[in-house]
Structure 1
Amino acid sequence: MARIAADLAAGGHRPEAFAAAVWQALGRADAGFLAGVAAYRGHPWRRELADPPAVWAEGGSRLLDYGGAGPVVVFVPSLVNRAQILDLLPEATMLRFLAGQGVRPLLLDWGEPGPLERGFGLTDYVAGRLERALAAVPGPVVLVGYCMGGLLALAAAQRRPDRVRALALLATPWDFWAADAAQAQAVGALLPALEPMLAALGALPVDAIQAIFAGLDPFSIAAKYRGFARVDPASGRARRFVALEDWLNDGVALAAPVARECLAGWYGGNAPARGEWRIAGEAVVPARLRLPSFLAVPARDRIVPPAAALALAGVLPGALVHHAAAGHIGMVAGSTAEAALWRPLLEWVLGLPP
């Protein structure tokens, strides 16, 4: 501080004036952030899309059928966010788009973890819920996993090659240390501090999950709300922003055993890339898969760094790598999602051998 003050004085600037200018700039930024939050909270948009019928259900989980005629494609989302991101708005719904283009998409909605699911580990979700959902539909199917759901889909494809004829992985991490090993290990190191909460609740609450992800890019939240303060509230852009924020803020708690596996095993230990991640005692090894595969890697992904997802290209035999010109969420629900992902994925599915 003394050096800054000396430099200011040498340039003919009073340190008091500099400090005042800094506080004014911070005040303007803070006002923009608060204006954006107020605009979001006061926006009239509410979700009106109704869920399609379920063809299978177990506990809080459902397999939703979006109709359409053609190859059956089962989508597996993350466990920590609601499945609605793939069916967000009438103008932003990957699943309804595909249903109108010669594909029959089905969506596995994991649901909230109830008393039973709070004791689930990843084996229960993969070798239990996911495999039973696959058994409930005509197969073999094209299996598509998004983000964390991609890891679950990959494990299921290895275990049940009779039920899966092709595999698509969208923004799916594999090497958690590829981009920033220290940051990933820091996330894993949070587990001991979270243990009292996990033991008491049997789950990692939504607020805790959001805090962890916010820590990966702490300045982005304020920046996006400042930007929203300048958006016309009657525009389609505003409606999409509100829909996405509602989805982000309406997350799903993570069963305590799953939270431990993900934080300690995936982030802390990089278990998938090291060949140490197991489902029902069997190591998940992508090199064992012998089926067509599609990897979508967003170019601007802050949640799953491209390097973490691209690691699968080197271990999944014959994978077609698609570099999507979008971010983690924009790839599936953004204004350019149709060109960035929907159509390339559709072309790949329709081009698969019968």
Structure 2
Amino acid sequence: MAKMKITGTGSYLPELTVTNQMMTKIVDTSDEWITTRTGISERRLSSGEPTWFMAAQAARKALAEAALDPAQLDIIMVTTCTPDYYLPSAACIVQAELGADRAFCFDLNAACTGFVYALDMAARYLSDPNIHHILIVASENISKLVDYSDRSTCVLFGDGASAVVCSRGSDEDPSALLATRLGSEGQTGHVLVSRALKVRHPFLAEGAVWPDRFGEHADHTLTMEGQEVFKFAVRVLADSVLEAAAQAGVNLTELRYIIPHQANARIVEAAARRMKADPAQIISRIADFGNTSSASIPICLDELVRAGKLQRGEKVAICGFGAGLTYGAAIFSY
């Protein structure tokens, strides 16, 4: 158990709302086809906002909620697989936007599991007596990776950002990170891929570039083996929550909410059945936002906090999965 307290949350969602009906104008699909297979009705897409801008907007809201001056931050982590630059990091850009000059900054890419990994890392850093406040920002412009001629993937994704401020809690405070269960299965990385730049320089011999590790891809747009991802996701979402709960000594019935990565309604429903969770515990907002990658879990958390639906001391499970393949769950007392 780590004495970590989430003291502020905040989110940013672009104004551009793309409905399923709008999707039918660009690919051979229908509202009925999308909703029955994914549970998605609409998604937000960037109106031109870069990843760093969405991150900074979400961060400002979280800091305001925490009543924390940016100068008090010790660490800024940004979880993203869609940065605007290879360098500098998105976290350093957020630092500059906020004026958080004391913080050290880095990006973390565990794809859609990124926020769970970051929360685990924040708790570990907070065990250092010199670290007091950490800002985690999950910001994703997944639309940059999407092939909008591929109807099987383009209907799934949305853009958005969310942030949390994590601070060291006192011994009397009920807030704590109770347990985490993180994992990766790199041997099946080929089922969800987006390629980066290939080797290229003027001294390279003709034909010397190695073939793609995961098969030839014409560009950076993502490819996905849907059935394999589905089977993996259902298994690891359920099993990681159950393992984390056992590690924390918490019964599933003690959890106020279970917030899964918002990838697909059918995945979430199947995982809930596998872990035998009460459907009333499961948070699902995929109908309105689609899959916003690592931002999906903290967006849901921010909504619950701001609506007054989550009280101090209540226990929450979060669970994610993503490319890599990666997965993870965390149990915390809010």
Choose 1 or 2 for highest CA Rg: 1
User: Going by fraction, where is strand more abundant, 1 or 2?
Assistant: 2
TM-score by length of 1: 0.29
User: Going by fraction, where is helix more abundant, 1 or 2?
Assistant: 1
